[in-house]
Structure 1
Amino acid sequence: MTGAHTAGPTEQPAPPPPTPPQRPRRSLAWRIGTPVVGVLSGALFVVSAADSGGTDLRPGRYTDLAGLVEAEAADYEEVRQDLEDLEDDVDSLTEEVSDDQVDRTRERGEELLDPAGLEPRSGPGVTITLSDSPDENLDEAVAHDIKVAQLVVHQQDVQAVVNALWAGGASAVTIAGQRVISTTGIKCEGPVVQLQGVPYPQPYVIQAVGDPAALTAAIDADPLVTGYRTDAANPYIEIGWDMETEDHVEAPAYDGLLDLSYAEPIG
């Protein structure tokens, strides 16, 4: 008996490797539209920059110094008016109080109003005007190794003039028409000078009530003011300086905020 022949296992061919998925092709509109959008966006930036002229196109933003000064001065005036109203209320209530000690204190306070600068003063005096150097002097100043800071009026320049006027016997001093008192702070903030927190742009007009001859002599003798006037005479600097004697100067009473502080001894 012939036995059945058993065949061995047949080898199967290996399956072909999987075809990698192809990245979807962008449409023609997408490929053309993308650079077009980029070009249009750039054009919009250029147009916006040209229209703005270097300023902010959004409303409500300050784009000039005069607007900033005016707004801050208006805010200060509103606060000052509120204070004045409160002081009037206090005065009215105080007058209703009948007490010897209160009356004596009130009389003493009235005696100190004038020395404190809370009463107006007028009489002969001087007017001094400080201002920055002309813009066209900048290139010449740099070419002659002159510091740019010498072309600008600083708070120390204003303070030096005020101190010299006090030394010359001034009975009242004003800056930009504002009465200067013992608590007045003169602070430089960028291109403006602040008095009691209110900004004032240059030119800075300083007036003093007093003997014109004595005030002029004090100005001439002050070394800091002399240094400023030397720069004013330098043709490459020409920082603004003008001084005139006056037959009549008006110095209004100080009507700003009174921020008083004092120290007490320990023990």
Structure 2
Amino acid sequence: MTRSFIRPARLAAIGVFALAGLIFWVSFNTAQGTNLRSDSSMLRLTDLIQERSRQNAELDSQAASLRRQVDHLARRDDGSTKGQDRRLDALEERAGMEKLKGEGLSVTLDDAPTNATAKVPGLPDPEPNDLVIHQQDLQAVVNALWRGGAKGIKVMDQRLISTSAVRCVGNTLILQGRVYSPPYTISAVGDRDALQAALHNAPAIQNYLEYVDAYGLGWKVEEHKAMTLPGYSGTVDLRQAKPVG
């Protein structure tokens, strides 16, 4: 019986030609006009992220409703005094778990137009990163409002608590499992004059306002005589805790 076989050198040559053919096909397909920014796989990923964000919002709402029922049942049967209940209510308010009403203000930040040019003579044309809101911009506003004595802060539609983290990936905000796109609105309850002064005195915000003037980033501050912040509705994952008082 004659056994046929392929020499290793010939096998390697076949592999090289096959790989070259694959590379050629991919290059040809891209050259035909495949839009990498609107590739269907990327669109599916974006849709998935948005859907998961919507699901997280629904689960947060359900969890908040269940927690209110549990709290009601626990207080009804825990044998606590009215004084103890009042102290618990105060602690929950300070922790951001309850609605908060009062005067305050809101700050809205937005990306500049993608075709923006320098608005000030002598400045170079902007780089892409100069035209979008960054994580440090949002953090600067949040930190300034806390320093200004804010009693509570909401970013978009979510209340911030001590474990909240404001994070940006690309030009999207990820907050407590949900995804947001600009414009971003940050609201705070507190003395309006003190909050305004804190914004004005924050160096990081002054730096941001230079880009507002130079390239058209969005910045709007609105005062409110009365506003309501929702209570935090997500889960709390504490690794360490220390009693207050």
Instruction: Tell me if both proteins adopt one fold, taking TM over 0.5 as the criterion.
Output: yes
Matched, 1:183 2:175: no
Larger radius of gyration: 1
Aligned partners of 2:54 and 2:178 also within 8 Å: no
Aligned partners of 1:129 and 1:203 also within 8 Å: yes
Deviation at 1:151, TM superposition (A): 1.7
Structure with greater helix percent: 2
Match of 2:43 in 1: 62
1:114 aligned residue (93, 114, 121): 93
Deviation at 1:62, TM superposition (A): 3.5
* Partner AA of 1:114 in structure 2: E
| TM, length-normalised to structure 1 | 0.66
Aligned partners of 1:138 and 1:148 also within 8 Å: no
Matched, 1:133 2:116: no
Which stretch of the first structure deviates more once superposed, 201-210 or 104-113?
A: 104-113
Aligned partners of 2:63 and 2:233 also within 8 Å: no
Match of 1:13 in 2: none
Would the alpha carbon gap of residues 100 and 117 (structure 1) be closer, same or farther in structure 2, given more than 3 Å must change?
A: closer
Distance 1:204 1:197 in 2: 16
1:257 aligned residue (232, 235, 239): 235
Aligned partners of 2:98 and 2:232 also within 8 Å: yes
Of structures 1 and 2, the one with the larger relative CO (CA 8 A, separation 6+) is 2
Would the alpha carbon gap of residues 190 and 221 (structure 1) be closer, same or farther in structure 2, given more than 3 Å must change?
A: same
Deviation at 1:129, TM superposition (A): 0.8
Which stretch of the first structure deviates more once superposed, 68-77 or 157-166?
A: 68-77
Matched, 1:222 2:169: no
Deviation at 1:243, TM superposition (A): 1.3
Distance 2:119 2:90 in 1: 55
Deviation at 1:75, TM superposition (A): 2.4
Deviation at 1:180, TM superposition (A): 1.4
Identity across matched positions, percent: 33
Would the alpha carbon gap of residues 113 and 62 (structure 1) be closer, same or farther in structure 2, given more than 3 Å must change?
A: same
In structure 2, runs of 5+ residues without a counterpart are 1-24
| TM, length-normalised to structure 2 | 0.71
* Partner AA of 1:158 in structure 2: L
Match of 2:67 in 1: 87
- CA RMSD in angstroms, aligned pairs only: 3.5
Match of 1:123 in 2: 102
Distance 2:70 2:185 in 1: 35
1:169 aligned residue (145, 149, 170): 149
Aligned partners of 1:69 and 1:200 also within 8 Å: no
Match of 2:8 in 1: none
